[in-house]
Amino acid sequence: MTGRVYLVDDDDDFRFSLVFLLEGEGYAVEAFASAECFLAASLPAGPACLLSDIRMPGMSGLQLQDELAKRKLALPLVFMTAHGDVPMAVEAMRKGASHFLEKPFSDQHILDIIRDALAPEAEPDPVAGRIAALSLRERQLLDRVVAGKLNKTIADELDISIKTVELHRARMMDKMQARSLAELIRMTARHLA
């Protein structure tokens, strides 16, 4: 495998286990117990990605993401958490995280994500085309669904029935080719401001 993986997680056992897995797959891995330690390190040039816990003592993963942006350090960022929620995932993705994973996750899933994060971009992202193909009502639903609003709240805001929300939501999910809310959030985060 080519590329370096930086791992930031305050859980020693989890960190050790993930380093063992990744090194076994041929990745060069540097692990850090805190965001502050990662930021203090000298990072070599070359393809790399960052795996970070989101809830840590001291600087959180979201604060680390903000600091990386301030320093203009562009690394594919994968957040991992055992205690995530939709608003947190939306915020992380809108700020440019490539993935938001809930612990525990399978070894193969994290390996696939790292492989994709380190792969050069070969084709343009088709998500913008999918968003453009949505009707006005489907686009209104997309914005509200990604913001974590419930169908009842959306119905009230748009002055339509819950059944109509459900119908448009199903069509929107189909057009976006999203199988779940998490997948919809991940794929649209960079496109919705």
**pLDDT on residue 120:** 66
Helix (H) or strand (E) holding 68: helix 61-70
Please report, in tens digits, the pLDDT of each residue of the chain (193 residues total): 568 999 999 999 999 999 999 999 999 999 999 999 999 988 777 789 999 999 999 999 999 999 998 988 888 999 998 887 778 888 888 888 888 888 888 999 999 999 888 886 545 568 888 888 888 899 999 999 988 899 999 999 999 999 999 999 999 999 999 988 888 888 887 777 5
Q: Write the CATH number of the domain with boundaries 127-188.
A: 1.10.10.10
Residue-level pLDDT at 122: 47
Tokens 């819950």 sit at which residue? 162
pLDDT of residue 190: 72
- 5 SS3 class: strand
Give the list of residues 6+ apart from residue 127 with CB closer than 8 angstroms, or none. Answer: 176, 187, 188, 190, 191
Q: Which residues contact 2 (CB under 8 A, 6 or more apart)?
A: 47, 118
pLDDT at 121: 55
Contact 172, 138 (CB under 8 A): yes
What is the structure's pLDDT at 1? 54
Pair 124, 98: CB distance under 8 Å: no
Q: What pLDDT is stored for residue 57 in this prediction? A: 92
Cα-to-chain-centroid distance, residue 28: 22
CA-based nearest residue to 11, from 66, 57, 47: 57
Whole-number pLDDT of residue 193: 55
DSSP line for 20-38: HHHHHTT-EEEEESSHHHH
pLDDT attached to residue 168:
93
Using CA atoms of 70, 182, 128, 152 in order, give the dihedral in degrees to the nearest 10: -110
This prediction has a pTM of 0.65
Domain spans in the chain, listed from the N-terminal domain onward? 4-118, 127-188
**What is the third-level CATH fold of 4-118?**
Rossmann fold (3.40.50)
